[in-house]
Amino acid sequence: MRQFNIVKIFLQLFFHDKSSRRFGLGVILGLSFSMAIVLATIGLMDGFEFALKKGAKKALGDFYITSKSGFFSEQHIFLNNALDQMAGLRKTSLLQVEAFAIHDEKSRAVLVRGIRPSEWKDLTDINLNLAAGDIAIGPELQKELSLKVGQDLLLALPGRAQGEGTQLINLKIKQVVNHGIYQKDLRFIYILLPGLQEQLGLRNRINLVSVSIPENDSEAAWDKKLKQTVPMDFKVRPFWYEYTTLIEAVHYEKFLIGIILQVIVVVAIFNVIAFILFLHEKKSQDIFLFKALGMSQKVLMQCWLMMVVFLGLFSGIFAVFFVFLFNWLLTHLSLLHLPAQIYYLGSLSLRLTTQDYLIVYATSFLWLLIISLIALWRVSKRGTLKGLRQGFV
């Protein structure tokens, strides 16, 4: 208890005057801002990956299965036997073909996807109320071609037979579907599966099966199970497969940038050292008096370390505030929105876990303690006789 009181008096002495308090606040804000920059960078990359995967999953379910030979029958044995016997697995058949959307002398390459709305809603939570002759489009395609719900859109589809040429059909826009990924909102058009099969002369043939697994199940375990079940002439891919390279690049850059940004934290820590040296010079007479009255070097070091911990803890608290501020600015400030054509997503938000905070804080405090101990060791070399020579008493 007595030692705690000594530390308390020591800290009160240092922060008694206004200049020391201002310097201390500046040091805390500098260190907290540096920590927040590291956290925001990690959160930005995790947020990008999360939003990208969320949009990809919304457009395709958890896994998709294709045939190496292209189209295949909906009555294929593995669809009706092997997959149906897997507990918790949900599936739906899809037919996806390339086409052109044409409106007012403008055209855009699109992917027309034939679906069964009830099954599609069960897999992706996208609720489509389509009737024969209706389509659903993405908001970016709507903006690109200046379309409105209720208007007709001309589609140029492949011919019913090889070498037949292109067939043009007019379809009514019933809904606008937002996936959250620019390319999908620009290219995807949904139509009823039986209608598309009839239009292309494919009867009951499809070229894609989308499957969904139970929410809390392991994706890796299901990936292995599906690959063991599906015949060799079929391929199983996770919903994020087309973004594999991009996601791997994000992981690599997050690790690399996280290390590089530690330089910012180290620079901010030197401000802490400057603050300690400033206090030591400014309060040197008081420190000498403490020593003269019997304060041991050990207790003095403990007081200095308590001050360092105090600065570190408050910096961590202020860093959380800065992270919330950065997240709000990313969400609401249009200046910080991304060009979706390049980055796939129009806007981002920070996504941080408790583990992210712990790693950044632990690393920052480790740097703080190492550099502070070196500085304090140099400061502690000033002895009582040196204080007497400088005329402090």
pLDDT (tens digit per residue) in 303-362 = 777 778 888 888 889 999 999 998 888 877 766 566 555 556 766 778 888 888 888 888
221 and 318 fall within a common domain: no
- State whether 182 and 292 are in the same domain: no
Judge if 226 and 82 occupy the same domain: yes
Same domain, 272 and 360: yes
* Mean pLDDT computed over 199-228: 86
**Tally of domains in the chain:** 2
Residues 70 and 204 in one domain: yes
Domain boundary among the residues 207, 238, 269 is at 238
Q: Are residues 180 and 99 part of one domain?
A: yes
| 270 in the same domain as 195 | no
In the chain, % of residues over pLDDT 90: 15
* Domain span holding position 285: 2-55+247-389
Same domain, 32 and 170: no
Q: Where are the alpha helices (DSSP H) in 61-116?
A: 77
- Asked if 46 and 254 count as a contact pair (C-beta separation under 8 A), the reply is yes
Most confident of 217-226, 272-281, 302-311: 217-226
In the 8-state DSSP scheme, what is residue 75?
A: T
| Residue in 179, 232, 200, 255 with CA at minimum distance from that of residue 71 | 200
Same domain, 300 and 196: no
With 60 as the cut, is the pLDDT of residue 1 above it? no
In this structure, the answer to whether residues 72 and 217 fall within a common structural domain is: yes
- Distance (Å, whole) CA 312 – CA 350: 23
Q: Are residues 78 and 31 in the same domain?
A: no
From 238, 271, 302, give the residue that closes a domain.
Answer: 238
Domain co-membership, 103 together with 233: yes
**Residue with the two structure tokens 């996280």:** 258
Residues facing 109 on adjacent strands: 100
Q: What value does the mean pLDDT of the chain take?
A: 80
pTM of the model as a whole = 0.75
- Cα gap 393→390, rounded to integer Å: 9
Core vs surface per residue 194-227: b (16+ CB within 10 A) or e = ebbbebbebeebbbbbbbbbeeeeeeeebbebbe
The residue from 221, 238, 255 where one domain ends is 238
Tokens of 209: 């099966």
How far is the C-alpha of 15 from the C-alpha of 299, rounded, in Å? 19
